[in-house]
Structure 1
């Protein structure tokens, strides 16, 4: 059942990212009266697109956790923390690079990744 649930999460993630990105987020980003955040239209569009796709990434991370739980329940605690650490490290790095440091989420995601990674490695 966990494998089926993980497959459903992957399907939801790909549909959300692909269809939702194309049919909802792209048209919103083309609006002429799009509000300016973080100083520019570019940063508004980046925030909308990355926020949308980061949600899809969360579902893929949850799918990975369900698969790990199915295949290795004994090692799940450490895997849980390490997978989350990787997720937040990726989100933090993307936010830092794409926004050129303007979107402050990286300042929370990267330390969170470090804390989770440290805790996870401590359990191995």
Structure 2
């Protein structure tokens, strides 16, 4: 179960970074009205890009923890709660249109089941 959850997180991270870079960040950075911080919009663009991709990096980290520490009930429960809340936020704020909520709920369920079933 945890391997499946880990694979889902890696795929979600890759999809997030690749599609986000191509369809969101690239289009956003073409705009001429981004805030100019520290003299230009380069800092703004760098910060947005960093914040976008660090989310994917965090998901890769969660995936690694699930593989490396599968017997840590506290870790599994924490991961389950983090992804359940992430699923709720995603579903609520996008009105269910952004399908990440589905992946987050599956990851939450798999880690919760692993915490109780060993």
> TM bucket by the smaller chain?
0.5 to 0.7
TM-score (norm 1): 0.55
- Distance apart, 1:33 and its partner CA: 0.9
CA distance in 2 between partners of 1:14 and 1:38 (Å): 31
- Distance apart, 1:37 and its partner CA: 2.5
**What SS does the corresponding residue of 1:35 show, helix, strand or coil?**
coil
Partner of 1:58: 58
**What SS does the corresponding residue of 1:39 show, helix, strand or coil?**
coil
1:51-72 deviation line (CA, Å, top 9, x unaligned): 10001100000000001123xx
CA distance in 1 between partners of 2:63 and 2:5 (Å): 7
Q: Evaluate the alpha carbon distance shift between residue 38 and residue 62 of structure 1 in structure 2; reply closer, same or farther with a 3 A threshold.
A: farther
Identify which of structures 1 and 2 has the higher relative contact order when contacts are C-alpha pairs closer than 8 Å and 6+ apart: 2
CA distance in 1 between partners of 2:38 and 2:60 (Å): 28
TM-score (norm 2): 0.57
**What SS does the corresponding residue of 2:37 show, helix, strand or coil?**
coil
CA distance in 1 between partners of 2:19 and 2:57 (Å): 15
Q: 1:6 and 2:13 equivalent?
A: no
Unmatched 5+ residue regions in structure 2? 76-118
Partner of 2:17: 17
